[in-house]
Amino acid sequence: MTRTSTPLVLLDLDGTLTDSAPGILAGIRHAYGVLGLPVPDDAALRSFVGPPITDSFAAHGVPAARVDEAVVAYRAVFAAGGMYDNRVYDGIPQTLVALRDAGCALAVATSKPEVFAKPICDRFGLSELVDGIFGAPLEEGLSTKADVIATALATLGRATPADPADGPVVMVGDRLHDVHGAAAHGIDCLGVSWGYADDGELLAAGAVAVVDDVRDLTAAVLTRLPVTPTPAR
Tens digit of each residue's pLDDT (9 = 90 or more) over 47-99: 898 788 888 999 999 999 999 999 999 999 999 999 999 999 999 999 999 99
Q: Is 199 a catalytic residue?
A: no
Bridge partner list, 106: 9
Distances (CA, A) of 186 to 67, 143, 229: 32, 18, 25
Neighbours of 213 (CB within 10 A): 11
At 210, which amino acid appears? V
Do the bridges between strand 169-173 and strand 133-136 make them parallel or antiparallel, or are there none, so unpaired? unpaired
Q: Over 90: is that where the pLDDT of 172 sits?
A: yes
Contact 176, 205 (CB under 8 A): yes
pLDDT for 55-64, tens place per residue? 899 999 999 9
pLDDT for 98-154, tens place per residue? 999 999 999 999 999 999 999 999 999 999 999 999 999 987 666 899 999 999 999
> Per residue in 168-204, is it b (16+ CB within 10 Å) or e — as a string?
bbbbbbbbbbbbbbbbbbebbbbbbebbbbeeebbee
* pTM exceeds cut of 0.85: yes
- Domains in the chain: ranges and CATH: 8-19+87-222 (3.40.50.1000), 21-84 (1.10.150.240)
pLDDT for 178-222, tens place per residue? 999 999 999 999 999 999 999 999 999 999 999 999 999 999 999
Give the pLDDT of residue 43.
Answer: 87
Choice among 12, 19, 174, 178 that is catalytic: 12
**Range list of β-strands (E), 28-104:** 87-88
Q: Over 90: is that where the pLDDT of 4 sits?
A: no
Hey, what's the torsion of the CAs at 187, 193, 198, 200, to 10 degrees?
A: 70
Q: Over 70: is that where the pLDDT of 232 sits?
A: no
CB contact set of 65 (below 8 Å; sequence gap of 6+): none
